[in-house]
């Protein structure tokens, strides 16, 4: 692209496109030899900053990824050569800057992992990395979300998540954890973490209203399912498809799931989700994502029956808590119990959850507010609605919560 035809917005758009599609790959290429994720991320960020300065003047290069990789690699080598780095890092841990670092992706089996982002997710799911940080690491390093966005998925403070990620990257560097794609024999043990990362990607994208990224999450989920042919992978693909089918229905103003008109949902995505769920069920093993997808399918069935099958949701939510007692599953269980057995019963389930994580978990306070209001506890409900509104960044949801507050 000629420089005289490149505007700053065009340069920004080109850099953003490269960042979305290639950031994780570039980080992996740079970290392949040293295992220093933090340095690789800094080098890539520096390359994007330089692109935003140079591309508007000189034009977007014919191969933006190659340009970015070259600049980032040079930045990485400059750090390796710096006096500060030489005095803080053991000599044997500094890679030979003359060695090409692209080998991490050379041996990827295109038939096994046809999407490079998925390959990199498997790289970051190495069992030597603490289980609690694998998914956050993937969301940040490969999928490009910042610490605050990742923190929102795990209901922790952004500062705590940032510190956790820094420690994980330091461990990868110090322990020399190999930053390589697993073979077929070791791939299965990494699948759960990769599933969590893809689901986290979808959750963040929907929360931010980024439907393009949410659609990318559906692509990743479907590609992963086709690659590994595991029931839970198919379940995740079904869950994302069914959730995404309501994208248009959840525009401003906010309407709760049970109050939405199923006729407004994307029929193609609903049918695709149901088909994917059928493939998951054929596997014989029941897991978290299959159960969550089945719950969404119950809501989708309302387009035929006109009513919500709350007893079916009660059964599925009980099974979900038994299989995967996450905070989200337990809060959803309380909401459903509140529907099937009354608000007092729902509040009892909610109050039994406990734990510090509930303080920042917006759905907990939203469900609590609804149950308190239905139980006639007006003052408590008002406080809970206010807290739920404070914790959401979605203006439509905030307006709905304040409107519902007694």
- Answer yes or no: is 336 within a domain: yes
C-alpha dist (Å) from residue 207 to 30, 122, 153, 262, 397:
31, 25, 10, 21, 11
- Answer yes or no: is 173 within a domain: yes
CA dist 298 and 294 (Å) reads 6
Is 118 found in the same domain as 66?
no
Domain count, the chain: 3
- Answer yes or no: is 340 within a domain: yes
CA dist 267 and 50 (Å) reads 45
- Answer yes or no: is 208 within a domain: no
Is 397 found in the same domain as 329?
yes
- pTM for the predicted model, two decimal places: 0.76
Instruction: Please compute the mean of the pLDDT values over residues 209-232 and round it to a whole number.
Output: 88
Is 145 found in the same domain as 96?
no
At residue 19, does pLDDT exceed 70? no
Look at residues 48, 71, 102 and tell me which one is the last residue of a structural domain: 102
Domain of residue 135, residue span: 113-198
| Mean pLDDT for the chain overall | 82
Is 98 found in the same domain as 1?
yes
CA dist 39 and 142 (Å) reads 14
Is 57 found in the same domain as 20?
yes
Question: Which residues have CB under 8 Å from 68's CB, separation 6+?
Answer: 18, 22, 26, 44, 47, 48, 51
Is 131 found in the same domain as 47?
no
Residues 298-342 have pLDDT tens digits of 999 998 998 999 999 999 999 999 999 999 999 999 999 999 999
- Answer yes or no: is 338 within a domain: yes
Look at residues 150, 168, 198 and tell me which one is the last residue of a structural domain: 198
Is 122 found in the same domain as 193?
yes
- Answer yes or no: is 180 within a domain: yes
- Answer yes or no: is 37 within a domain: yes
The 3 state secondary structure assigned to the chain is: CCHHHCCHHHHHHHHHHHHHHHHHHHHHHHHHHHCCHHHHHHHHHHHHHHHHHHHHHHCCCCCHHHHHHHHHHHHHHHHHHCHHHHHHCCHHHCCCCCCCCHHHHCCCCCCCCCCHHHHHHHHHCCCCCCHHHHHHHHHHHCCCCCHHHHHHHHCCCHHHHHHHHHHHHHHHHHCCCCCCCCCCCCCHHHHHHHHHHHHHHHHHHHHHCCHHHHHHHHHHHHHHHHHHCCHHHHHHHHHHHHHHCCCHHHCCCCCCHHHCCHHHCCHHHHHHHHHHHHHHHCCCCCCHHHHHHHHHHHHHCHHHHCCCCHHHHHHHHHHHHHHCCCHHHHHHHHHHHHHHHCHHHHHHHHHCCCCHHHHHCHHHHHHHHHHHHHCCCHHHHHHHHHHHHHHCCCHHHHHHHHHHCC
**Do residues 113 and 182 touch, judged by C-beta distance below 8 A?**
no
Among 79, 10, 92, CA closest to 44? 79
Is 23 found in the same domain as 92?
yes
| Structure confidence at residue 114 (pLDDT) | 52
| Structure confidence at residue 314 (pLDDT) | 96
Residues 145-185 have pLDDT tens digits of 888 888 888 878 888 888 888 888 887 777 777 666 777 77
- Answer yes or no: is 176 within a domain: yes
Residues 240-288 have pLDDT tens digits of 999 999 876 545 578 888 888 888 899 999 999 999 999 998 766 789 9
Look at residues 181, 198, 215 and tell me which one is the last residue of a structural domain: 198
Is 89 found in the same domain as 5?
yes
Is 404 found in the same domain as 337?
yes
**Do residues 45 and 141 touch, judged by C-beta distance below 8 A?**
no
CA dist 279 and 283 (Å) reads 7
Q: Can you say whether residue 101 is alpha, beta or left, with left for phi > 0 and alpha for psi between -120 and 50 degrees?
A: alpha
């Amino acid at each position: 692209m000629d420089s005289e035809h490149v505007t700053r917005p065009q340069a920004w758009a080109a850099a953003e496109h490269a960042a979305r599609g290639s950031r994780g790959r570039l980080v992996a290429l740079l970290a392949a030899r040293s295992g220093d994720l933090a340095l690789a991320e800094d080098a890539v960020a520096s390359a994007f900053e330089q692109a935003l300065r140079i591309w508007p003047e000189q034009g977007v290069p014919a191969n933006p990824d190659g340009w970015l990789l070259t600049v980032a690699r040079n930045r990485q080598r400059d750090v390796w050569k710096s006096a500060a780095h030489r005095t803080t890092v053991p000599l044997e841990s500094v890679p030979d800057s003359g060695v090409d670092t692209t080998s991490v992706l050379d041996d990827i089996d295109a038939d096994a992992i046809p999407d490079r982002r998925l390959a990199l997710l498997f790289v970051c799911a190495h069992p030597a990395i603490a289980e609690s940080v694998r998914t956050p690491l993937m969301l940040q390093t490969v999928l490009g979300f910042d610490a605050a966005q990742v923190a929102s998925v795990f209901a922790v403070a952004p500062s705590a998540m940032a510190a956790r990620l820094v420690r994980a990257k330091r461990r990868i560097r110090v322990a020399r954890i190999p930053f390589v794609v697993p073979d077929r024999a070791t791939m299965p043990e990494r699948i759960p973490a990769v599933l969590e990362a893809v689901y986290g990607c979808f959750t963040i994208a929907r929360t931010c209203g980024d439907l393009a990224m949410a659609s990318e999450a559906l692509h990743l989920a479907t590609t992963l399912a086709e690659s590994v042919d595991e029931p839970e992978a198919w379940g995740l693909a079904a869950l994302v498809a069914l959730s995404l089918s309501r994208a248009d229905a959840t525009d401003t103003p906010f309407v709760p799931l049970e109050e939405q008109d199923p006729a407004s949902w994307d029929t193609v995505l609903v049918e695709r989700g149901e088909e994917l769920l059928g493939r998951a069920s054929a596997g014989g093993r029941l897991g978290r994502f299959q159960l969550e997808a089945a719950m969404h399918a119950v809501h989708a069935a309302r387009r035929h029956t006109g009513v919500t099958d709350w007893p079916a949701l009660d059964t599925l939510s009980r099974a979900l808590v038994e299989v995967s007692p996450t905070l989200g599953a337990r809060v959803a269980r309380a909401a459903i119990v509140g529907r099937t057995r009354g608000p007092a019963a729902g509040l009892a389930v909610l109050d039994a959850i406990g734990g510090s994580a509930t303080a920042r978990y917006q759905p907990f306070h939203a469900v609590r507010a609804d149950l308190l209001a239905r139980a006639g506890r007006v003052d408590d409900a008002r406080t809970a609605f206010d807290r739920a509104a404070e914790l959401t960044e979605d203006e439509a949801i905030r307006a709905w919560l304040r409107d519902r507050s007694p």
